[in-house]
Amino acid sequence: MIRPTPRAIVLFAAGIPLAFAILLADPDAWPFVPAYLFLACFALLLDTALSLTPGRLNVQVNPPPVLYIGRPETFLVYLRAHTGRRPEIELLCDVDDTLERPRRVIAMLNEDGEAIVPIGLSARHRGKARIERLWLRWRGPLGLVHRLRIVPVDSEIAVTPDVKAVRQTALAFADPSALYGVKPQFQQGEGSEFESLRDYVPGLDPRSIDWKHSARHMNLLCKEFRSERNHQIVLAFDTGHLMREPLAGIAKLDHAVNAGLQLGYVSLRAGDRIGVFGFDSKVRVVSQPIGGIASFWRVQRAATELDYSPDETNFTLGLSSLAARLDRRSLIILQTEFVDTITAELMLENVERLAGRHVVLFVCLRDPLLVETVDRAPDSLGTLARSVIADEFLRERRVVLERLRRRGVHCLDVRADQIGPALINRYLEIKRRELI
């Protein structure tokens, strides 16, 4: 496909005032007008003949088989020109709504007429994404014509939760001592497991003295404990319409799923059992708690089944169904979202009821746009009004979180880029304090 460039349009358009100027200056000089048009057409045809033909350009595409949500990937295009001409080639990729529209890329062929062009891909949400076609455009040597080539791709890519972040977490905790230190960690408190007896020495906690065995052995003995394992942890995800809102380019639900998978790997490696529970207007996903690092793929599959829902979340149905399925005290990590104190009343009531028997970690994502709106200089009346409204939202958010803390619920309100490490650190703190 051949199209004229803006330079060619200017070249032909310049002939109109030039023709009027020639005819006004000397009517007998009219043969110069068709001569100019003839030279312009000849230059256009010459540029077409000298330009790189689409048949001499070999194009190979190598799309990634999997795309991780929240992590940009590259789509490689290999170009090879079977001629001595090496034009500057523009590339543009057509994708469906699952992916962000890639930016236009300009490629320069090397001395051998080859180029490897990376095109950035970024997913908006999980599911199946499709790369439809690739557009290539280059100019002729004179810059008067554009050569256009369309390469159909029709490649389908699976968009999954960010497993790469889980792999990085796996490397961070590859050392068996990463969770508990180099030496065995002996912790005291309710629910900890008895390890052994040892002679009491100054500096040990007197409350650990076992008076019965001390009287029998005529020597002060104290108990040593070890950290409990085999705790039951449930990753509860709110999949309602508020979790569909984008934050840092992807939905809040995807941020929650990525962080949940990171925590799932760490907890499975620590010897605990992990289950997945998803709900909105009704219960969507139920995965019973399982243990063993080899079972992580089951947790990943259950998290992948969490779909985006336009429904409003029914906390009464969802949390009561979750409580009915638990037969022992568990750590429930509830990742959800709310707007204000009025819409959060039913959520507060059901979370407080759930916290009466279980340990509940309430996790929500902080929107940095609200903080920026509050801190922005009030240079106009509209900016001031938006700042006041944003501050009211933040105040009501703090009220809801403070009410939950007073009811014994552990709360975590962090930015999207901090949710993974913050969630793991809070989980380790809860285990260290033997709260489960």
Summarised one tens digit per residue, pLDDT across range 338-387 is 887 877 888 999 999 999 899 999 999 988 888 888 888 878 888 888 88
Q: What is the mean pLDDT of residues 101-128?
A: 87
Higher pLDDT: 96 or 207? It is 96
| Per-residue pLDDT tens digits for 356-368 | 899 999 999 988 8
Higher pLDDT: 112 or 186? It is 112
| Per-residue pLDDT tens digits for 281-300 | 999 999 999 988 888 989 98
Residues contacting 30, CB < 8 A, separation 6+: 22, 23
Q: What is the mean pLDDT of residues 264-279?
A: 91
What mean pLDDT is reported for the chain? 84
- The pLDDT of residue 333 is 95
Domain 163-179+229-432, architecture per CATH: 3-Layer(aba) Sandwich (3.40)
Establish whether domains 1-160 and 163-179+229-432 are of one fold: no
Report the percent of the chain where pLDDT is more than 70: 92
- The pLDDT of residue 184 is 41
Taking 60 as the threshold, does the pLDDT of residue 18 lie above it? yes
Q: Tell me, what DSSP letter sits at residue 28?
A: G
Residue type (1 letter), 227: S
- The pLDDT of residue 236 is 95
Query: Any long-range contacts for 385-389 (C-beta under 8 Å, 24+ apart)?
Result: none
Higher pLDDT: 84 or 255? It is 255
Q: What is the mean pLDDT of residues 301-315?
A: 90
- The pLDDT of residue 26 is 74
- Name the band, by pLDDT with cuts 50, 70 and 90, for residue 191: very low
Whether the Cβ atoms of residue 24 and residue 161 lie closer than 8 Å to each other: no
Phi, psi torsion values for 86, nearest 5 degrees? -130, 80
Q: Residue 126, class by beta-carbon neighbours within 10 Å (0-12 exposed, 13-18 middle, 19+ buried)?
A: buried
The sign of the CA dihedral 202, 203, 206, 212 is: negative
Residues contacting 148, CB < 8 A, separation 6+: 1, 2, 3, 135, 136, 137
Report the CATH number of the 1-160 domain: 2.60.40.10
Taking 90 as the threshold, does the pLDDT of residue 202 lie above it? no
Q: What is the mean pLDDT of residues 410-430?
A: 90
Alpha-carbon distance values, 405 to 69, 74, 234, 351, 409 (Å): 32, 44, 20, 11, 5
Residue type (1 letter), 308: Y
- The pLDDT of residue 185 is 43
Higher pLDDT: 23 or 394? It is 394
| Per-residue pLDDT tens digits for 217-266 | 888 888 876 656 678 999 999 999 999 988 888 899 999 999 999 999 98
- The pLDDT of residue 277 is 95
- The pLDDT of residue 187 is 43
- The pLDDT of residue 172 is 64
* CA separation for the pair 395, 374 (Å, rounded): 11
| Per-residue pLDDT tens digits for 24-50 | 777 777 777 778 888 888 888 888 888
* CA separation for the pair 319, 304 (Å, rounded): 21
- The pLDDT of residue 189 is 43
Whether the Cβ atoms of residue 285 and residue 260 lie closer than 8 Å to each other: no
- The pLDDT of residue 315 is 92
Parse the chain into domains and list their residue ranges: 1-160, 163-179+229-432, 193-226
Q: Tell me, what DSSP letter sits at residue 313?
A: P
Q: What is the mean pLDDT of residues 67-93?
A: 86
- The pLDDT of residue 228 is 60
Give the distance between the most distant pair of CA atoms in the chain.
Answer: 132
Cα 285 off chain centre by = 21
